[in-house]
Structure 1
Amino acid sequence: MPREDIAFQTSDNVTLRGWFYTPEASSTTPLSCLVISHGFTAVKEILLDIIAAHFTSSLPISCLVYDHRGFGASDNHPSAPRQEIIPSLQCSDISDAITYAQGREDVNKEKIGVWGTALSGGHVLRVGAVDRRVKAVLSQVPMVSGWENFHRLIRPDFVAGLNHLFQEDRLARAAGKAAGTIHVVDPNPMATSALQTIEAYEWFAEWAKTTDWKNEVTVKTMEEFRSYNPSFHIHHISPTPLLMTVAENDALMPTDLALTAYAKALEPKELQLLPGGHFDVFGPNFEKSVGRQVDFLKKTLCA
């Protein structure tokens, strides 16, 4: 599929970089556009190219894919550390990506949707509720409650140590020292890491071989993660159509939390429940997940 390298400015003047996909067949009229955002610390080279190409080959739609600020090819503020996730800023950046798309002559300004997976699966719930320009929300294996998710991921006997780490990092940064970091994943179950599951380690370790993904995230990221509640406004997404894709045995973004959030959403909404774990939506369940998402987009953005 045709792909263009793009860059756009956020509302606080950070340059984000990515790709803009269009269908093979040229169009004389502006097309719908889907803004695609990746999950926790992931970069766009981790399968977002495959997803965008699948959508643009199946539908008369364009796709905007980009790296989050401070990750991959995107910039960050000079005073801000890389490898740091501030959810409110990432959500604001999604809205800025929408603004960029609206400024393109080849995009139908009234037909823009958002797609997110994992942490960004939560982001699109928040953005879909508060940014009324969004006309379709596709949330895949989402993080919906930071507090609950944090305390499922982190062993109880590690929590006190992390709380101390949060305090020490704040003091160090206030004194002008560099931001503290921890591993995203670690094969040692006794090591401090952000995503303490074997499947997360195996997934990211494999992608680290072929992309510029870095096994590092700031300490502050985890403090922000715990306090983030992206599903708080989920009932405000309506009347914008919502499709939530959930894995039946998701240990990373727990299944029951996602289903509880989905139950609070108002119509129109659709639930896709797939077998397997968190990363299976990119593996054995890929065709099922994107197939349902294509059908959803046909009825909404591409109707």
Structure 2
Amino acid sequence: MPTAENKPAKQGSIEFYSDGLTIRGELRLPQGAGPFPIVVLAQGLGALKEWTIPQVVDALVEVGIAGLSFDYRNFGDSEGEPRQEVAHYGRLEDWQNAISFATSLPEIVPQRVGIWGTSLGGRDVLAVAVLDRRVKVVVSQTPLIKWTHTTAARMAGYGDNLERYQRELAEDRQNRALGKKPKYVPFVKASGDDVKKAFIEGLSKAELRNYDGRLTLQTYQPTVLTDVTTFMGLISPAPLRVILAEEDFLPGQREAYEEAREPKSLVMVKGNHFSPYLESKSESIKAATDWFVEHL
């Protein structure tokens, strides 16, 4: 059985190591001999590589750009425990190791690497672009900019009840330190998640094969990446395109874009946070593809 170390590069399933974990994904190459530029792609909070990303990769491959998508640690086809836990710092390692794998492939031009992320993945690519100068082009779609206690509590389903959120978060951390199982919360919350519910219900059985409808409570822990606005100016000279939805509920997106330096571009699409996966999908994909064609 091939391992992450000796598995041949090909169009199809790939795997690589990240902090000793096997991270699994998909590689698609354009027609022709190559070598090709490449875009590395990953989804948002609790989301999987099968959601929307294949359509983005289709568009990239059509214009001669390879695409590599992957599941973060603890999710989908990738290793990691506990399952369905967003590892905020580990995700950044997964991104950088995905880039390392991509640039090791003989079919790829290592100096021509772009990254595409959406929602929480949209925040990830902003951070990775600062950390890793191998990144030459960035597309950040509907990024989560501010991860405060208030934002995290609301996304976890606690509303404005910060006291209960912080108490249960601490209780869960203590229980886990004593060897007990993690606490889970529903991915789609009972109230306030109507748009997310509609999006999930519209996915196919194949897209939902690794989805079990929950995330660990520790997914919503506070992190030191409270507000990525402060380092937006450090992404330059990598060209940055930010794709935003007019009615997105996430705060701070336009302010963060204003802090970025040239070269940069802002594209607005109609709808809410999920519209780039739904009614504004074609427009969003074209905006991303055009940017990568221009700069890769």
TM over 0.5: yes
Is residue 122–residue 231 contact of structure 1 (8 Å, CA) maintained in 2? no
Cα shift at 1:92 = 1.2
Match of 2:72 among 46, 52, 68: 68
Preserved CA contact (<8 Å) 1:37 1:67: yes
For 2:203, which of 204, 207, 218 is the aligned residue?
A: 207
Q: Give how far 1:152 is off.
A: 5.9
- 1:55 has 2:29 as partner: no
Give the counterpart of 1:16 among 23, 28, 36: 23
Match of 1:175 among 148, 173, 178: 178
Look up the SS of the partner of 1:146 in the other structure.
Answer: coil
2:252 aligned counterpart, secondary structure: helix
Aligned length: 283
Shift of 1:232: 3.3
**1:227/1:267 CA distance change after superposition, 3 Å:** closer
- What TM-score does the superposition give when structure 1 sets the normalisation length? 0.88
Task: Give secondary structure in 1 for the equivalent of 2:38.
Answer: strand
Give the deviation of 1:156 after TM superposition.
4.5
Deviation at residue 282 of structure 1 after TM alignment? 1.5
Cα separation, 2, equivalents of 1:136 and 1:85: 25
- 2:193 aligned to 188, 197, 206, which one? 197
1:179 Cα deviation after fit = 1.3
Secondary structure of 1:108's partner? Answer: strand
Opposite residue 186 of structure 2, the aligned amino acid is: H
Unpaired runs of 5+ residues, structure 2, are 1-9
Stretches of structure 1 lacking an aligned partner (at least 5 in a row):
190-195
The offset of 1:53, in angstroms, is 1.2
Contact 2:129 2:135 in 1 (8 A): yes
The one-letter code matched in structure 1 to 2:17 is: Q
| Alignment correspondent of 1:273 | 268
What's the secondary structure of 1:54's corresponding residue?
helix
Identify which range, 86-95 or 153-162, moves more after superposition: 153-162
Q: Using the alignment, how far apart are the partners of 1:21 and 1:203 within structure 2?
A: 25
Distance in 2, matches of 1:138 and 1:185, equals 26
**Once the two structures are superposed, what CA deviation does each residue of 1:168-227 show, in whole Å capped at 9, x if it has no partner?**
0011011111111111113x32xxxxxx42111222244375412121111111114696
Does the 8 Å contact 1:123/1:230 carry over to 2? Answer: no
Q: Which segments of structure 1 move beyond 6 Å, counting only runs of 4 or more? A: none
Question: Structure 2 residue aligned with 1:288, among 270, 280, 283?
Answer: 283
After TM superposition, list the pairs within 5 Å mapping 1:101-250 onto structure 2. 101-147=102-148, 149-150=151-152, 153=155, 156-186=159-189, 188-189=190-191, 196-207=192-203, 209-210=205-206, 211=208, 212-224=210-222, 228-250=226-248
Query: Between the two proteins, what is the percent identity of the paired residues?
Result: 28
Amino acid corresponding to residue 263 of structure 2 in structure 1: P
The answer as to whether partners of 2:153 and 2:165 remain within 8 angstroms in 1 is no
* Residue 90 of structure 2 is aligned to residue 86 of structure 1: no
Q: CA 1:91–1:165 in structure 2 vs 1: closer, same or farther (change >3 Å)?
A: same
